[in-house]
Chain A
Amino acid sequence: MLAGIQNIITNPTIYNMTQSTVTQVTTETCLKAVGRPAFILADKQIDSQTKRFSAIKEFLYQLTCLGIYLSVIIPVCRKGAYKLAKKMYPEERVFEAFKQTKDLSSFYKMNETEKAAKIAELNKNITSGDTFTKENLNVNIAKGAIEAGAMFGSVAGLAILAPVISHPLIHPIMNAIKSPKKVTPEK
């Protein structure tokens, strides 16, 4: 039992996945999309129709946030931050070796043997200048730039854009479901 838990928490694949801001935010948003409606539905102080309405609204809100986040903000911000870092630090050879974010991300996930093979492959394609080595490839700065871009996108997207965009998207759906306030006639 304990060995099983230890294997899970020391798993390098999970470690590499959770080093990514996108994975962190996506996981948390998915948990919130399930957990928050569950909390609302479990509340015994609210009547069932209001509970249902609020739970659906919360679920749709989290789903919209996730959609906006994954489809628009993250690809734009990650690539933008990578390009910006490339311009700011042209002396860093990591940007020369990995032209795009996906190349660096896949390199980051590799184990030591695969990394060595990848560096050897990169060196074959060099026409001029020094060869790439594990030491002169500052992977951390490039990875940091990608994560900083993802962080900026996450903050801008989830805290500022998503509430503004989600309202007109969710409103028609909630109107179709009917608000409990609208169902009960007010005196």
Chain B
Amino acid sequence: MAINYKKGIKTFLEHLGSNNNPAYIVVAIATAKGIFRPLFTMMDKKESSETKKYTALREGLTEVIAIPTYILCGTIAGKGAELIKDAEKAKMAKHNLRFVGVCTAALVVIPGLCSLVVKPFTDKIFNKNSEKRQPSQLQHFDVISGSNPPVFQKFSAPTAIHNYPARRISMSTFTNSGMKVG
């Protein structure tokens, strides 16, 4: 088992040493960013839940787009080396062209694709969510009563309350501060 493990690492290292494809590192970084950046964003306690979700989704999507783009651009650019007859020169050209392809992806293709896809996609999701949520927030208050029975199932809010976010109402709302009205 240990010998196989060492042999596997050796094969990997030898492959990496003989041909360090430029797409490997950018894909590795994009994968790690795709996992950790949304994770860090969701852990931020200062931001509101909606902002965090929006930012995390946008960051995750950016990396989801970036990974195949890096691979595709590198591969397509590398195909140009097939025009060179000399095998040794073709090997060098393939690697150098892959590098050019990856750089082009990082500089132009990914920002362009992201501006085309990410913003409309996230806007669509979040606009849909906000459209679905808004009427329910206005019509129903979330009733959390702990051990006590719920006070209100429905609450018809006055027009002025539309400007404020819906608050959770529990028995403690009344017992701790007292009812000021009525």
Q: Which residues of A contact B (CB under 8 A)?
A: 6, 8-12, 14-15, 18-21, 24-25, 27-28, 31-32, 35-36, 39, 85, 88-89, 138-145, 147-148, 150-151, 154-156, 158-160, 163-164
Q: Which residues of B contact A20 (CB under 8 A)?
A: 20
Contact A35 B20 (CB under 8 A): no
- The 8 sampled A-B contact pairs (Cβ below 8 Å) are A9-B92, A9-B97, A14-B92, A27-B103, A28-B106, A39-B111, A140-B17, A148-B16
Kindly provide the distance from the CB of A70 to the nearest chain B CB, expressed in whole angstroms: 15
Within 8 A of A (CB), among B92-113: 92-93, 95-97, 99-100, 102-103, 106-108, 111
Contact A10 B92 (CB under 8 A): yes
Kindly provide the distance from the CB of B112 to the nearest chain A CB, expressed in whole angstroms: 9
- Closest B residue by C-beta to A145: B13
The complex places the Cα of A150 from the Cα of B36 at a distance, in Å, of 19
Kindly provide the distance from the CB of A23 to the nearest chain B CB, expressed in whole angstroms: 9
Contact B96 A35 (CB under 8 A): no
B84 within 8 A of A: yes
Contact partner of B9 among A36, A88, A140, A156, CB < 8 A? A88
- Closest B residue by C-beta to A43: B115
Contact B36 A159 (CB under 8 A): yes
Chain B: residues with Cβ within 8 Å of the partner, total of 40
Q: Which residues of B contact A150 (CB under 8 A)?
A: 25
The complex places the Cα of A125 from the Cα of B13 at a distance, in Å, of 28
Q: Which residues of A contact B86 (CB under 8 A)?
A: 10
B40 within 8 A of A: yes
Within 8 A of A (CB), among B42-86: 80-81, 84, 86
Contact partner of A148 among B13, B22, B36, B89, CB < 8 A? B13
Contact partner of A36 among B14, B81, B111, CB < 8 A? B111
Knowing A12-B92, A18-B96, say if A88 contacts B29 (CB, 8 Å). no
Q: Which residues of A contact B16 (CB under 8 A)?
A: 143-144, 147-148
The complex places the Cα of A150 from the Cα of B16 at a distance, in Å, of 11
Contact A141 B17 (CB under 8 A): yes
Within 8 A of A (CB), among B102-129: 102-103, 106-108, 111
Kindly provide the distance from the CB of A56 to the nearest chain B CB, expressed in whole angstroms: 17
B152 within 8 A of A: no
Contact A151 B25 (CB under 8 A): yes
Chain B, residues 9-38, CB within 8 Å of chain A (1/0): the string is 110111111101010111011001100110
The complex places the Cα of A13 from the Cα of B23 at a distance, in Å, of 19
Contact A31 B106 (CB under 8 A): yes
The complex places the Cα of A119 from the Cα of B16 at a distance, in Å, of 23
- Closest A residue by C-beta to B80: A9
B132 within 8 A of A: no
B167 within 8 A of A: no
Knowing A10-B89, A144-B16, A151-B25, say if A18 contacts B111 (CB, 8 Å). no
